[in-house]
Amino acid sequence: MKTFFSEDHRAHFPQAELHGGQFVTPFERPSRIEHVLTRLKERGFAAPIAPDPADRAVVDALHAPDYLDFLETAWAEWKAEGFEGEIIAASFPARRMQTARPPRNIDGKVGYYALAAETAITEGTWAAAWSSMASAQAAQRAVAAGDRAAFALCRPPGHHAASDMYGGYCFLNNAAAVAEMFRRDGAAKVAVLDVDFHHGNGTQDIFYDRGDVFFASLHGAPEDAFPYFLGFADETGTGAGDGATANYPMAPGTGYGPWSEALDDALSRIRAFGAEALVLSLGVDTFKDDPISFFKLDSGDFLDMGARVARAGLPTVICMEGGYAIEAVGINTVNVLEGFNNA
């Protein structure tokens, strides 16, 4: 299985994440990736391949033009306003307020395009997000060209990024782009399976009204876990997408037994849907020692997870999402890949 990876992810490393009323070093940090690279090498995977540039047309199909403009220009506007910190959202279009009138003022604009304030934008954020998108797209091209599967070592992650909102460490939705590319390449139906601990609200949002992309997510129940406001079991799609969204919210303390039952159910739903290609949004923050999550998977469970996903028998692109138990991120991620390869 080829791995696609860009060193440009380093351009994004905010100093500050708003957590528990304080600024902390972001849980989503470059060293997460180092541990994956080390384990890939150690376990005999081929050296990662630097991706070709991303195709902008795919991104334009998923994200709103004003949102992309915002991401590209936010840093310059923020600095022009005289703000000294990194970009952090502070004011939001809340209940019963105007949700379709982006402000002119950059402070207001930031709040308009954010779904959370924990995620800072820095000078290098756009470049890093764009390189992450390039890795995802390159992995899709490898699979479209005949590889059974490919791994996009994306950073920053993407699954929380909606068509017009960033947050949860995500800016551009890499997994959604891969699904869209499979469709453009001729697959009638595609599935995105999101096994990150957190609900893939962005991916769900992007495909919610589409009948050609099935979205399934296994995650911490929104009553208890970020992003809190999406990922309920009764969200099943709308319009042409009615029935093409499946959410498996699970309670604090959930272990691999019930988790893998949900996985099997999601995979059987994907089979019944008739997907011709699969995108795996792979977060390993389901691990028992993850500092910001509450599932109880052991490292060995990730081998089994990979095998179950492989047995779906679909051309598969695996996109890296979250995972914050820094050293274990490498072991658990590579376990999924190895489990997949050995199935």
User: Which residues are part of the catalytic machinery?
Assistant: 160
**Closer CB to its own copies, 1 or 121, in the complex:** 121
Contact flag: residue 98 with its own copies (CB under 8 A): yes
Taking CA atoms, 240 is separated from 189, 206, 215, 228, 247, in Å, by 13, 13, 13, 26, 18
Contact flag: residue 41 with its own copies (CB under 8 A): no
Q: Which does 11 bind (CB under 5 to 8 A by kind): its own copies, Zn ion, none?
A: none
For residue 267, give both structure tokens.
């995979």
Q: Which of 177, 191, 194, 186 is nearest to 139 (CA)?
A: 177
C-beta of residue 205 within 8 angstroms of C-beta of residue 237: no
Span interacting with Zn ion, options 95-103, 122-130, 316-324, 325-333, rule CB under 5 A:
316-324
User: Going residue by residue from 285 to 304, which x/- string records binding to Zn ion, judged by CB under 5 A?
Assistant: x-------------------
**Closer CB to its own copies, 89 or 246, in the complex:** 89
Residue 158 CB partners (closer than 8 Å, separation 6+): 132, 133, 136, 170, 171, 172, 173, 174, 175, 176, 177, 202, 203, 281, 319, 321
Beta bridge partners of 320: 282
Contact flag: residue 28 with Zn ion (CB under 5 A): no
Task: Compute CA 52 distance to the chain's CA centroid, rounded to the nearest angstrom.
Answer: 20
For the chain, report the end-to-end CA distance as a whole number of angstroms.
Answer: 13
Task: Compute CA 313 distance to the chain's CA centroid, rounded to the nearest angstrom.
Answer: 22
**Closer CB to Zn ion, 187 or 280, in the complex:** 280
Q: How far is the CB of 227 from Zn ion (least distance, A)?
A: 10
Contact flag: residue 118 with Zn ion (CB under 5 A): no
Contact flag: residue 236 with its own copies (CB under 8 A): no
Residue recorded with tokens 């893998």: 260
Q: Which of 51, 231, 249, 322 binds Zn ion (CB under 5 A)?
A: 322
Contact flag: residue 283 with Zn ion (CB under 5 A): yes
Residue recorded with tokens 């402000």: 103
Restricting to residues 175-204, which ones interact with Zn ion according to CB under 5 A? 196-198
Positive or negative: CA dihedral 74, 79, 81, 84? positive
Span interacting with its own copies, options 136-144, 146-154, 157-165, 267-275, rule CB under 8 A:
157-165
Amino acid at residue number 160: H
- Residues lying near its own copies in the complex (CB under 8 A): 16, 18-23, 78, 81-99, 101, 103-105, 107-108, 111-112, 114-118, 120, 162, 164-165, 167, 201, 205, 208, 222-230, 232
- Residues lying near Zn ion in the complex (CB under 5 A): 196-198, 283, 285, 322
